[in-house]
Structure 1
Amino acid sequence: MLNRRSDKLELLRIAEAVALEKSIDKELIIDSMETGIAKAAKSKFGQDNEIKVLIDRESGDIGIFRKLIVVEKPENTNTEINLQDAIILNEANKDKKIGDEILQPLPSFDFGRIAAQTAKQVISFNVREAERERQYNDFIDKKDSILSGIVKRLEFGNVIVDLGRTEAIIQKNEMIPRENIKAGDRVKAYCYDVKREARGQQIFLSRAHPKFMEKLFVQEVPEIYDGLIEIKSSARDPGSRAKICVKAVDTSLDPVGACVGMRGSRVQAVVNELQGEKIDIVNWSEDPAIVVSNALSPAEVQRVNVDSVAKKLDVILTEENLSKAIGRRGQNVRLATKLLNYEINIMTDAEDSERRQSEFKEKTENFVKNLELDETLGQLLVAEGFSSISDIKDSSPENLMKIEGIEEDTAKALIERAKEFYQKDQEDITQRIKDLGLQDDLINHKGLTPGMLVTLGEQKILKLEDFADLASDELTGGYDVVKGERIKIQGYLEDFALSKTEADELIMSARSIIYKD
């Protein structure tokens, strides 16, 4: 094997050089050499043997041993030895007990081509794994920050970035659309993830992530860096338009002005890095109505109806401001929706009035028909905020008696009728669900009411799998822009006041059940 002292010391020098080059511990390199040599020795002495190799850290001497366990009656002579034979092997083993391990020296040998190749592969693999572990540990703390590097190469639309001691990847879908990046360019990107991966890059960068824009503002605006201004949220359509919502912690500051900078210098620096992306800076407020009015600029908003529970905003404006609020291909309202995390319905004053009248009429007709009331009393209940028969069922006589013209007997009769109707309605719904043929997995899905189930069944959505394949817009409805025209899309469960967030949760929980491993 390695018989000359110069060869032995060369082994240690190689370990030191590799450790220095790869920035990993020299001890780990030597451990890998021991493992590699042990694997090669197995091919020489037999695969049934347990081989241990020890490299002297000072001299480079290599010791090859067979590991044996002391037992009373050995059954496998390759791995076991009795105490008598162990003492014959080495006088020092006389203090060993049953179950102890001893090392039997094996003769040195010359590596054959295959054995040498085996050792080399093991060493290379272990060094590679150690290098990847070092990379992971070096960069895990850099997650959620901007990194800068040189573009090394392009692979199938992905960009490989040299960060110095390692490489990172900007995947195709994390690039700014139509951005022209070439090998040799210096790029900045947001580090959104660092993973332990067996192969390929472990550091994942993005230039399309909203956080990339936020971090650029942190770099350009000292007040954000110092914590005097806080970024509340952001949304991007990469390469086209973005919105960022800012709040002044120090109330003497103008957060929008600080982010814009003198003659727009600060925001322009961010725009240039984002390849000309137009950025709207929105002043934050506790009132979502104020924020949405700011976020939909340049459209002038007349009023906003806020439903904080369902996280819905009805934005009412004039006909001439409608297209400005929606934006090209719905971009403006889409970004505002992401910014606020509210569902935003844009409508004209006429549409809002028509919707209110329609809702008022429907609720009144529901009371008149099902509770056998006259129209005036039905309208009075709706005007006082009673939206459904369930609201009346759950009310108290005292609460109903606050409405002018309703006496105690009338109040009690209303509640009794509401309870009777509700009971019968639930029985009818249960029978209807059965007749429609809905499957138990959909019926038992948490969050779906009996009324929702009937509506889904009428649309031939009978299984949980059918439900999981839906998009949230198919449930809640909304508006779309087709060839410049704003088109209303009716949702299956629109009449149940389901928010987009609730619809997303229902669908995602169904998918997790259907597609679980």
Structure 2
Amino acid sequence: MASEILMMAEVLSTEKAVDRNVIFEAIEAALATATRKRHREDIEVQCVIDRKDGSYTPYRVWEVIEDDAELEFPSKQICISAAKEHDQDLVVGEFVKEELEAVPFGRIAAQAAKQVIMQKVREAERNKISEEFEPRVGEMLSGVIKRQERGDTIVDLGGVEALLPRNRTIQREGLRPGDRVRAILSEVKQNNRGPQLVLDRVTPQLVLALFRTEVPEASENIIEIVGAARDPGLRAKIAVKSNDSKVDPVGACVGIRGSRVQSVSNEINGERVDIIKWSEDPAQFVINALAPAEVESIMVDEDKGAMDVIVDESQLSLSIGRGGQNVRLASELTGWDINIMTYEQANEKLEEESSGVREMFMAKLDIDADVATILIQEGFSSLEEVAYVPREEMLEVEEFDEALVDELRQRADDALVTLAIQKEEMLKGADPADDLLGMDGMDETTAKFLAINNIKTMEDLAEAATDELLEIEGLKISEERAQELIMIARRPWFEEMGIDPDAEEEVEESA
């Protein structure tokens, strides 16, 4: 029996690539189970195997408990006073051990031992998979397609199987058993069968990883592949920059006669890849990202994170792309909301926006439409700008003299003071509830503005929509902050329903 134990440990350790100590612990558990079954009484058994000669010793074990504690399991527990008769040094929580006779096991007992051993080995294999692959989530892995299961693909990563779900496979991609494929490890899911490795071939991270593999300059940090956006199987855009002025980042990624970009394209089912030069100037970056379309001019709205891109009528369809693909990918790549328009559309939008500003200037500064129009043409869009822009800068306006500039500045200043007083008077009557005032991220002014618009409690705010907050006159708040405040107010809902608060985007969209 001793030699068989040593042989079993050696064989299983080699075949399953599991540490020998894990195998020995599994065999000890199996021997303990088999020994326990040989006794009519429900006892607790431990077995200890000598790692050198394979011999083992079974022990009957009692847990030491307090004298006044109830013996729930008399065959497995012993009071401290009785335990000290065996060993004076024992304390509550330790164990009394009594050696049992090691007897040979029959066929049924051996079969039971084998089942326990294989279960422990499977657990060890699962733990090993988790330990090996959880740190590698987000990494590109290579494997061979083993089989198809209900539309999903099983990939052999070299002794370990991974799942490539159908919805993470490039459309119209003809994957067949035996094909080698590369994908991003997106997650390690735990289920009843153990860890499940999940792969992804539609994530933009795959394009980044492929270029970093194909382009030596990227691995040497001579160039950086900054980001990517994809329409899987159809088109992708990547942004690159160079850390060496002598190296062209676009040319490095394209390769001689397009060899490098073609290699990446072949790996992702012929997906067309546009290589864009990154720029620290957001406007220039957007212009580059919209290539091959030519941009005439661009207007940036940093507050809204948006850009109005003006193109010639002949470039409109090219800049937008089929189904909006080009502008959508450019927007994802740059992180800006891009609006493509012609000169005519831009003028219509500008006139619409200007009319509101013009009316405001005419009313607050008591000026005619001509003077208001000149202010707008010179880039003024608020009373604060008129009041606080340096006097010398306003004097550069050809149509303005010193007297007019001083008068405009004074009127703007008076209008701002009047608005401030009106705002203060209006907020005096506001009565926000204590829970709204004390809410995380809330300030008194915002709470009062909400209160005078019938949003007086956290519950009221939780029921509000982002647009409602943005439409409150006098409340200067960004869309992002409005969403944040609403989601904070909804936290009690999440806790009550057992919903993860991190799923806030889905909740906000459904609202």
Please confirm whether the aligned pair reaches a TM-score higher than 0.5, indicating the same fold. yes
Query: Once the 2 structures are TM-superposed, how far is the Cα of residue 357 of structure 1 from its aligned partner?
Result: 2.3
1:43-442 to structure 2, matched below 5 A, reads 45=39, 49-68=43-62, 73=67, 76=71, 78-80=76-78, 93=87, 96-99=89-92, 101-108=95-102, 120-194=114-188, 199=193, 201-369=195-363, 372-375=366-369, 378-379=372-373, 382=376, 385-388=379-382, 404-406=402-404, 411-412=409-410, 414-424=412-422
Q: Is the 8 A contact 2:126 2:195 kept in 1?
A: no
For residues 315 and 476 of structure 2, the distance between their equivalents in structure 1, rounded to whole angstroms, comes to: 26
Change (3 A) 1:16 1:287: same
1:404-483 to structure 2, matched below 5 A, reads 404-406=402-404, 411-412=409-410, 414-424=412-422, 464=462, 467=465
Q: Deviations over 1:390-417 (max 9, x none)?
A: 667xx55976995644576764554343
- Paired AA for residue 96 in structure 1: D
Query: Once the 2 structures are TM-superposed, how far is the Cα of residue 509 of structure 1 from its aligned partner?
Result: 6.3
Query: Once the 2 structures are TM-superposed, how far is the Cα of residue 363 of structure 1 from its aligned partner?
Result: 1.0
- What fraction of aligned residue pairs are identical, expressed as a percent? 37
Unmatched 5+ stretches in structure 2: 396-401, 499-511
Alignment length, in residue pairs? Answer: 479
Change (3 A) 1:427 1:48: farther
For residues 156 and 14 of structure 1, the distance between their equivalents in structure 2, rounded to whole angstroms, comes to: 38
SS of the residue 1:346 aligns to? strand
Change (3 A) 1:512 1:177: farther
Query: Once the 2 structures are TM-superposed, how far is the Cα of residue 326 of structure 1 from its aligned partner?
Result: 0.7
Aligned to 1:19: 13
SS of the residue 1:65 aligns to? strand
- Paired AA for residue 275 in structure 2: I
- Paired AA for residue 280 in structure 1: D
Identify which range, 327-336 or 446-455, moves more after superposition. 446-455
SS of the residue 2:296 aligns to? strand
Query: Once the 2 structures are TM-superposed, how far is the Cα of residue 330 of structure 1 from its aligned partner?
Result: 0.6
Change (3 A) 1:59 1:113: same
Identify which range, 411-420 or 111-120, moves more after superposition. 111-120
Query: Once the 2 structures are TM-superposed, how far is the Cα of residue 173 of structure 1 from its aligned partner?
Result: 2.1
Change (3 A) 1:313 1:414: closer
Q: Is the 8 A contact 1:260 1:266 kept in 2?
A: yes
- Paired AA for residue 258 in structure 2: G
For residues 208 and 141 of structure 1, the distance between their equivalents in structure 2, rounded to whole angstroms, comes to: 21
For residues 205 and 281 of structure 1, the distance between their equivalents in structure 2, rounded to whole angstroms, comes to: 25
Change (3 A) 1:466 1:199: farther
Aligned to 2:509: none
Change (3 A) 1:210 1:506: farther
Query: Once the 2 structures are TM-superposed, how far is the Cα of residue 241 of structure 1 from its aligned partner?
Result: 0.4
Query: Once the 2 structures are TM-superposed, how far is the Cα of residue 146 of structure 1 from its aligned partner?
Result: 2.5
- Paired AA for residue 62 in structure 2: L
For residues 326 and 475 of structure 2, the distance between their equivalents in structure 1, rounded to whole angstroms, comes to: 27
Aligned to 1:488: none
For residues 266 and 222 of structure 1, the distance between their equivalents in structure 2, rounded to whole angstroms, comes to: 10
Change (3 A) 1:407 1:31: same
Unmatched 5+ stretches in structure 1: 1-6, 477-490
Query: Once the 2 structures are TM-superposed, how far is the Cα of residue 103 of structure 1 from its aligned partner?
Result: 1.1
Identify which range, 56-65 or 415-424, moves more after superposition. 415-424
Q: Is the 8 A contact 1:246 1:256 kept in 2?
A: yes
Identify which range, 108-117 or 151-160, moves more after superposition. 108-117
Query: Once the 2 structures are TM-superposed, how far is the Cα of residue 236 of structure 1 from its aligned partner?
Result: 0.6
- Paired AA for residue 209 in structure 1: T
Query: Once the 2 structures are TM-superposed, how far is the Cα of residue 329 of structure 1 from its aligned partner?
Result: 0.8
Q: Is the 8 A contact 1:175 1:207 kept in 2?
A: yes
For residues 336 and 112 of structure 1, the distance between their equivalents in structure 2, rounded to whole angstroms, comes to: 72
Query: Once the 2 structures are TM-superposed, how far is the Cα of residue 243 of structure 1 from its aligned partner?
Result: 0.5
Q: Is the 8 A contact 1:231 1:247 kept in 2?
A: yes
TM-score, normalising length from structure 1?
0.76
Change (3 A) 1:98 1:236: closer
Query: Once the 2 structures are TM-superposed, how far is the Cα of residue 131 of structure 1 from its aligned partner?
Result: 0.8
- Paired AA for residue 422 in structure 2: K
SS of the residue 1:285 aligns to? coil
For residues 154 and 110 of structure 2, the distance between their equivalents in structure 1, rounded to whole angstroms, comes to: 34
Identify which range, 321-330 or 41-50, moves more after superposition. 41-50
- Paired AA for residue 273 in structure 1: E
Identify which range, 349-358 or 315-324, moves more after superposition. 349-358
Q: Deviations over 1:170-209 (max 9, x none)?
A: 2222211111112232212123444566535433322111
Change (3 A) 1:497 1:225: farther
Change (3 A) 1:431 1:260: farther
Q: Deviations over 1:120-147 (max 9, x none)?
A: 5543333222112212233345444332
TM-score, normalising length from structure 2?
0.77
Change (3 A) 1:400 1:258: closer
- Paired AA for residue 89 in structure 2: K
Change (3 A) 1:97 1:357: closer
